[in-house]
Amino acid sequence: MEGGADAPLGVGGAYRPESGLERKGKTSPFSLLTNPANRLSYKPMPSNTFVLRGDICYSETPATLVTREDGYLVCVEGVSRGVFPRLPDEYRSLLLLDYRGKLVVPGLVDLHTHAPQFSFHGLGMDCELMEWLSVHAFPEEAKYADARYAEKAYAQFVDDLVEGPNTRSVIFATIHRASALLLMDMLEASGLVCMAGKVNMDRNTPDALCEKDGETSLAETRLWLAECAARPYQNTYPILTPRFVPSCSDGLLRGLGELQKEFSLPLQSHLSENSGEIAFVKELYPDISCYGGVYQRFGLFGEGGRTVMAHCVWCGEEEIALLKKNGVFVAHCPQSNTNLASGIAPIRRYLTEGLAMGLGSDVAGGVHTSIFRAMQDAVAVSKLRQCLVNRDERPLTIEEAFYLATKGGGAFFGKAGSFEAGFECDILVIDDASLTPRVPLPVKERLERAVYLSDDRHIAAKWARGMRIL
């Protein structure tokens, strides 16, 4: 017996949960789509205080990956007390969850995704950004005016998130207030921790997806915020969501800047993604020297609250300096940047500059919701960048990609994405025993293989803020 962990502990002693492979093929008990009644009956495990034993791995810095084979993660009221090689006496009375032999990592963070685009993910990958928006994204998003359509489609999106490795997401809905609220209700019921935004757009978009004017868009946003405030959300937060500069009038952008300050809200948008988009912004604002300068002009570039900009593929010196000065987060979305022919973001440069940064799936510009896939793509495109753009730019390491997928993106939510003491406990248990070849490997290499080879069926369990989700 070691560290007392085999001794009967707490209520009912050690608990050996079923493995991911035993779950394989089963529908999630929380499947919103297949059994809507589950939404009403869903009750998370009451206790968010426990000890979890397993092969634990988390990031401290981009270069520092901590691994603890057969260690103990202590979660008290949803918050980590740290990871220990032997269980300290003071925690011996807590419920012990025994995941010996399985990988235990922080839940992954998706810093940028579009819930209404999940309905066509994997389709329409033959266009560049601006054409793709007109041909695929806008017509699909217009359908969310119908709340019944939205309810069915969003249920599938939320089901997918529950089944996958992400525990936190920052999400675009559509311009439609009722549908955005439906999405937020479903996210709340899932136990995931999410920020979601009713989108603002009042120009340069098809009539079916264009708000009448800036005033109407702002009034709808205020109503939506009031409705959010009236709901008892614990894990779901509103985030202001101007789609991007080309689709928002000056009045709308200015009004959103004022709203952000008034309510201290977070804000998300797109920045310097694709050459066609950047040319359009230059046409609209010939007097402004960089794209980010437009957001800055209207007080939307980090001055009013926590802000995340997706992509940042083509930022020049001035824009990088602005991102840095204002603490704006970069959501790096490598799969989308490849699919929509946008380019390869200079992530090594951003890491060296110390920019706040995480990874995004950008579904449906990106096909896959899993941030494991975003890690693979982030490493892959960084190698292409070294080959094709700059021999001196070192590619991302697996440690760096894991940091971005967890603690880097988690910082947008506060203390999330790590198991260091004081961090909120989002936990993913991966049963990697069936990954072949079945050879003993150190924890770091098991993590690496899980990133590349595991899928949702290997997820044995997950928690957000110490509450069991799967």
Q: Which does 401 bind (CB under 5 to 8 A by kind): Fe ion, ligand GUN, none?
A: none
Selection from 133, 101, 106, 130 nearest residue 117 by Cα: 133
Per CB under 6 A, 244 contacts ligand GUN: yes
Task: CB nearer to ligand GUN: give 241 or 418.
Answer: 241
**Position among 48, 179, 336, 406 found at the interface with ligand GUN (CB under 6 A):** 336
Q: How many CB atoms lie within 10 A of CB 38?
A: 16
Residues within window 398-417 making contact with ligand GUN, judged by CB under 6 A: none
**Bridge partners, 67 (sequence order):** 57
Binding mask 110-149 for ligand GUN (x = CB under 6 A): ----x--------------x---x---x------------
Query: C-beta of 244: minimal distance to ligand GUN in Å?
Result: 4
What CA dihedral angle connects 74, 77, 78 and 83, to 10 degrees? -10
Selection from 354, 342, 332, 338 nearest residue 405 by Cα: 332
Task: CB nearer to Fe ion: give 189 or 248.
Answer: 248
Stretch that binds Fe ion, among 140-148, 292-300, 310-318, 403-411 (CB under 5 A): 310-318
Residues 6+ away with beta carbon under 8 Å from 83: 56, 58, 66, 68, 71, 72, 73, 74, 419
Residues 6+ away with beta carbon under 8 Å from 133: none
Task: CB nearer to ligand GUN: give 19 or 247.
Answer: 247
**Position among 55, 160, 188, 273 found at the interface with ligand GUN (CB under 6 A):** 273
Query: C-beta of 349: minimal distance to Fe ion in Å?
Result: 21
Query: C-beta of 373: minimal distance to ligand GUN in Å?
Result: 16
CA atoms within a 13 Å half-sphere pointing along the CA-CB vector of 345:
30
The encoded tokens of residue 459 equal 């997820």
Cα–Cα distance for residue pair 90/83, rounded to 1 Å? 14
Residues 6+ away with beta carbon under 8 Å from 375: 359, 398, 401, 402, 404, 405, 451
The residue count for binding ligand GUN (CB under 6 A) is: 12
Per CB under 5 A, 362 contacts Fe ion: yes
Task: CB nearer to Fe ion: give 302 or 366.
Answer: 366
Per CB under 5 A, 277 contacts Fe ion: no
Provide the binding-site residues for ligand GUN, judged by CB under 6 A.
114, 129, 133, 137, 243-244, 270, 273, 336, 340, 362, 365
